[in-house]
Amino acid sequence: MTTDSNKVKYFVDTSALIRLFRFYPEDLRDQIWNKLEPMFKAGYLVSHRLVYDEVTTTSKNPDVLSKKVKPLKEYFKTMKYGQLKLVADIVKKFPGLIDPSQEKEQADPWLIAIAIEEKTKNPSLETCVVSEESETKPHKIPAVCTHYKIKHLNLDRFYKDIGLSFKIVSKRE
């Protein structure tokens, strides 16, 4: 890693996981996942249980994302009372972050809340939310992170931050 991993914790959003597992070639995805899975297990990469619920399924034919994430459930943090006040503040200031017509709880404000909570508990820790949401829209994760002084990274910048680089190799001559 290029950053001091003891001082950085990454909070991954559904959008980033979906991009990795649905839009990357299988061999690249697997190589990246082989780097990310140990980060989950070491506690440097976490998420919220609502993200887990969004990406996993009980289907008899789960997709590869669900299969890879299911064994890591413990690294997807559950709701806590302290987060509730943060979520209320986030949604009040950024009502467009959620879709009020949806019946189930939405992960975005909770993910940001756990990043804020972690930063509050450990001020020397850099907290980064990793998402693929638009950085130009005022009611998306990047804007909310900016407001709460939480670093936001898209996947490309996240890979650079953790020291991953990619090169294209042609197998044809």
pLDDT digits (tens, 9 = 90+) for 59-113: 888 999 999 999 999 999 999 999 999 999 999 999 999 998 898 899 999 999 9
Domain 5-161 sits in CATH 3.40.50.300? no
pLDDT digits (tens, 9 = 90+) for 145-161: 999 999 999 999 999 99
Burial class (CB in 10 A: 0-12, 13-18, 19+), 71: exposed
Burial class (CB in 10 A: 0-12, 13-18, 19+), 61: exposed
What ranges do the domains of the chain cover?
5-161
Identify the CA nearest to 114 among candidates 144, 135, 155.
144
pTM (2 d.p.)? 0.91
Q: Which amino acid type is present at position 125?
A: L
